[in-house]
Amino acid sequence: MLTMTGQRRRPARPSRGGLLITTIVLVFLAATSPTVSSAAAAAITLVDSKGSLTKALLPTPSEKGIVALICSPGTPSLLFPSTSTVNVDEDGGVIRAPGASLEDSGSALARGVGAAAAGSVAGAVVLTGVTIADVEAGLDGTRHGRTLAELFASVLKTEYGKGNNNGGTTPVALTIAVQSEGSNDVLDSDDIKGCIEEIFAGVAAAAGVDGTLGDHFAVRSILVSTAKDVADIMISAKSSALASASSSSTGLPTAFSEIYKRIALSATTDHADPTPVAEAILACNDAYSRASRTSRARIASWRHRVSRNLLVPKFGIHADALLTRTLDLFDRDTMAAAGLPRAGSQRLIIRKKLYDRTEGILRRLFDDQMTLLEKNTLRRFQSALLRKMDGDSSMLLPGGDPSKFFESNADALRYAAFAFDVGASSLEVPSLSLTKSKAVRDMNDKLNAALISFPDSPVAKIKSLAKVERVVNKKKQPTEGSVSVALDLIAMIRPDGFGNLQGFAGYQLGPHSVTVGVHNDADDPGVISQFGGVRPPFLRVQPKLKLDVEL
């Protein structure tokens, strides 16, 4: 048995062909719909809650294909039933078992033996009770990781014990379910798949088997939010079990007691006397998980900053320190495994995986920031050229000399190249061979190309056209002083009435103008009050003399 603790296990993944190909489906349940139970009206208990066998044989199924439904102890589910025993429907179609727990109670069911036995006899497995918090923390450090590890160990020991080392074509489906309390959960399929691959790789390494998850299992993640979706998953699992049973040449297993006793004995033996090599490999996996978590927070903040088109200050120095600190942490925690023959080689594989993962993330951040720095430099350089045009664009006007424009902007070109060089220097990570030399050469070429093509760019042409229009429309300045006189007459006629008629008329002759207005408001009390209680004058004339002197 492979003992799983509260720490996360992230082993390496060797490669090998295998006989069993199991489909793993991770299902996220919204836990807001009515209870969906796949249990039949009556069930037969195979193993009681204390781990003792009560029935040796499985009932003969009404049709080929068995689905194993594994629940999680202590996790309530509104969509799947919970059980503390291993039991099977009377028709033999669904077998239920509790998963493993992290408490070392000594019970075979608590160690995941019942779940492993149920999964070994089934053609499809549905594991329930996984929460979003379990996924975010990593399945390999939870009770579900222990259940999966026990199941993987059982499958590997069964297949290699039979000598089936050349692979096979019969797919065996394994379905895993995860429940959620909210409706905005996001399913990260790649992260879940990688976590399960690492669980399998740790089991394979501890068992001395060169196998990968892809040789036995095909991981698939599905987000489920309604009872209908859960029913569809159960129908799909049943269909996969039927297909697996139909293509199997060995027939359906019926002696459940033999399988359960074999797994329980193996679990007890391995748990009582773990080999130093297996413990060392698991310690390497723990160290990998801790080192990854240590760097994850810093890398996430850098990614968020770059996503907002901002550079990470002194990225090169911080990235090199992060890589060094991550590897030093792993080396410190795995020093004991270096002296064991097989564990030492496995430690190097896991360390290289940690190095490659961290290097890949830092390399992508370096490339993204270098691209962002190039865009910012080109944008500032074009802005500088536009400001230069505002000062003097005669060199780009028809008949002008563009070569003088290039010469006058040589300083702007050198300044832009120097600014890019300084910014690129802060991004360099020499330990990862991430240098600025190629980027600086490419940037110099792009700056020269931008300067040469600037006169023909749409922005420069618009600027030049605006300059031409200002020159053409500019008024000619007088060469001699002048004096001009103009007379404006404004007249207002206010006949009797209460203001229901109003009009204006005007006439202009050269600089002179006449404006006449009519408004019949002489009897309006408001107007009379404005004039101190008397009627306004019938005709009012206001002359205006304008004198314009130009020197």
Whether 358 has a pLDDT exceeding 80, the answer reads yes
Give the separation between CA 427 and CA 365, rounded to whole angstroms: 9
Helix (H) or strand (E) holding 349: helix 341-391
For residue 520, the SS3 value is coil
Which tokens hold the place of 470? Answer: 């200002």
Residue 38 pLDDT: 41
HEC profile of 38-50? CCCCCEEEEECCC
What mean pLDDT do residues 275-294 have?
A: 77
* Domain 21-33+55-181+189-270, CATH among 3.40.220, 3.30.70, 2.30.30, 1.10.287: 3.40.220
Q: Give the model's confidence band at 328: pLDDT under 50 very low, under 70 low, under 90 confident, else very high.
A: very high
Q: How confident is the model at residue 374 (pLDDT cuts 50, 70, 90)?
A: very high
Element (H, E) at 361: helix 341-391
Report pLDDT digits (tens) over 475-514. Answer: 555 556 677 888 888 888 888 888 888 888 888 887 888 8
Average pLDDT, whole number, for the chain? 76
For the chain, helix, strand, coil in percent to 5 are 50, 20, 30
Kindly give, in sequence order, each residue whose CB lies less than 8 Å from that of residue 424, ignoring residues fewer than 6 positions away: 370, 373, 436, 439, 440, 443
Q: What is the pLDDT of residue 474?
A: 62
Can you tell me the distance from the alpha carbon of 293 to that of 316, in angstroms, rounded to the nearest whole number?
Answer: 21
Report the DSSP pairing between strands 67-71 and 94-98. Answer: parallel
Q: How far apart are CA 381 and CA 447, in angstroms?
A: 8
Report the distance separating Cα 539 and Cα 551, nearest Å: 39
| Token pair listed for 128 | 């329930």
Among 194-198, 294-298, 522-526, which stretch is predicted with the lowest mean pLDDT? 194-198
pLDDT, one tens digit per residue, over 392-420 is 555 555 555 566 666 777 888 888 889 99
Beta pairing, strands 124-131 & 67-71: parallel
Longest dimension (CA), the chain: 126
Separation between Cα atoms, residue 344 and residue 339, nearest integer Å:
6
C-alpha to C-alpha distance for 390 and 199, rounded to whole angstroms:
65
Helical segments of 392-496, H only: 402-408, 410-425, 437-453, 458-472
Across the strands, what pairs with 322? none
Average of per-residue pLDDT across 91-115:
80
User: 184: which 2 tokens?
Assistant: 């905005």
Find tokens 């309530």 and name the residue. 76
**CA dist list (Å): 238 to 25, 58, 69, 134:** 13, 17, 11, 26
Q: Take residue 193 and report the two structure tokens written for it.
A: 């798949």
Per DSSP, 431 falls in state G
* Cβ contact 286:7 at 8 Å: yes
Strand, helix or coil for residue 364: helix
Rg (CA), the chain: 42
Provide mean pLDDT across the span 299-308. 90
CA distance 20 to 173: 9
CA distance 225 to 231: 11
Does the pLDDT at position 544 exceed 60? yes
Residue 58 · residue 121 · CB < 8 Å: yes
Q: Rounded CA gap, 75 and 77, in Å?
A: 6
**pLDDT band at 271, cuts 50/70/90?**
very low
Q: Which residues contact 331 (CB under 8 A, 6 or more apart)?
A: 351
Which residues are CB-contacts of 75 (< 8 A; sequence separation ≥ 6)? 128, 129, 130, 131, 179
Residue 276 has pLDDT above 70, yes or no: no
Indicate the DSSP class of residue 91.
T
> pLDDT at position 123, please?
79
Q: Where are the chain's structural domains?
A: 21-33+55-181+189-270, 291-365, 369-472, 482-550
Q: Hey, is 300 helix, strand or coil? A: helix
| pLDDT at residue 311 tops 60 | yes
Residue 200, token pair as written in the block: 């399998």
Who has greater pLDDT, 146 or 325? 325
Q: Which helix (H) or strand (E) holds 295?
A: helix 276-307
Q: Which residues of 62-75 are buried (b: 16+ CB within 10 A; e: fewer)?
A: eebbbbbbbbbbeb
For 506-534, write each residue's pLDDT tens digit. Answer: 888 878 888 888 888 888 888 888 888 88
| Nearest Cα to Cα of residue 283 among 326, 344, 324 | 344
CB within 8 Å of 447: residues ≥ 6 apart:
377, 378, 381, 413, 416, 417
In this prediction the pTM is: 0.49
- How many Å apart are CA 97 and CA 70, to the nearest integer? 5
Question: Cβ distance 167 to 214 under 8 Å?
Answer: no
**CA 7, CA 18: separation in Å to the nearest integer?**
29
Which residues are 67's β-sheet partners? 94, 124
| Six token digits for residue 214 | 């892809």
Percent of the chain's residues with pLDDT above 70: 74
Structure confidence at residue 344 (pLDDT):
81
